[in-house]
Amino acid sequence: MGDPYAVGRRGFLKTGAVAAAATAVACGKPDSRWRALSEGEAQTLAAACDQIIPADQDPGASQAGVVVFIDRQLATRQKKTLPTWQAGIAALEATARRRQGKTFVELSADQQTALLQQIERGEGDKADWGELAPADFFRLLHGHTMMGFYGDPRHGGNKERVAWRMLGMPDPPVRGRLHETPPPPALAPRPAAAPAPRKG
């Protein structure tokens, strides 16, 4: 199986139509490279995360490994929330099909943004969302996208410290671990001032 880190935003979008049809694939199946998500769920999630943090001169959410971060959380610390994520992703897909006749990944960037804004406002069909509140799912999606993009790379996101480099900040200190890279010159400690010469 390939490394999920190697799949960039273009790769996600290129195979999105095919993968979206696989959203019903159960997690843990051999054909998924992900720990908790199916291939189709990961494709949809990547497209949604990229609308929250899109690529510009810097990588967007999926390129920075946000989906990897979320997948790892769902396979470990937040395993109990996996059904909520799966339901939310499926509902997002159902809403896209109901309103646009396409999968979420197949929508244009503007259509994806508009749909997510509707979900954020809680505008979801009961037939698609069931007992899950659309606005609650959007908050979950938004919060984890931000955590994955700006958090410690050890957890799967912020690949190659892209967010920290974008902000011009050094690695934050972690107990028991030295910085792996020196801070940029602008943030490096200033040299100690030379002692004043003695008079006389």
Residue 200 lies in a domain: no
Residue 43 is part of which domain span? 4-172+180-187
Total domains in the chain come to: 1
DSSP per-residue string spanning 15-45? THHHHHTTTTSPTT-TT--SSSS-HHHHHHH
Which residues, 6 or more positions from 17, have their beta carbon under 8 angstroms from its beta carbon? 103, 105, 106
Predicted confidence (pLDDT) per residue in 152-163, tens digit: 888 887 777 777
Residue 55 lies in a domain: yes
Which is nearest to 90 in space by CA: 30, 25, 140, 148? Answer: 25
| Partners of residue 166 on adjacent β-strands | none
Confidence at residue 160, expressed as pLDDT on a 0 to 100 scale: 72
Residue 194 lies in a domain: no
Confidence at residue 140, expressed as pLDDT on a 0 to 100 scale: 97
Which token pair is 180? 């792996």
Q: Where residue 8 falls among pLDDT bands split at 50, 70, 90? A: very low
Residue 88 lies in a domain: yes
Predicted confidence (pLDDT) per residue in 137-149, tens digit: 999 999 999 998 8
Instruction: Give the mean pLDDT of 173-182.
Output: 50
Residue 199 lies in a domain: no
Residue 197 lies in a domain: no
Residue 196 lies in a domain: no
DSSP per-residue string spanning 135-199? HHHHHHHHHHHHHHHHS-GGGS-SGGGHHHHHHT-PPPPBTTB--SSPPPGGGSPPPPPPPPPPP
Q: Are 127 and 19 in contact (CB under 8 A)?
A: no
Q: Are 170 and 183 in contact (CB under 8 A)?
A: yes
Which residues, 6 or more positions from 189, have their beta carbon under 8 angstroms from its beta carbon? none
Residue 195 lies in a domain: no
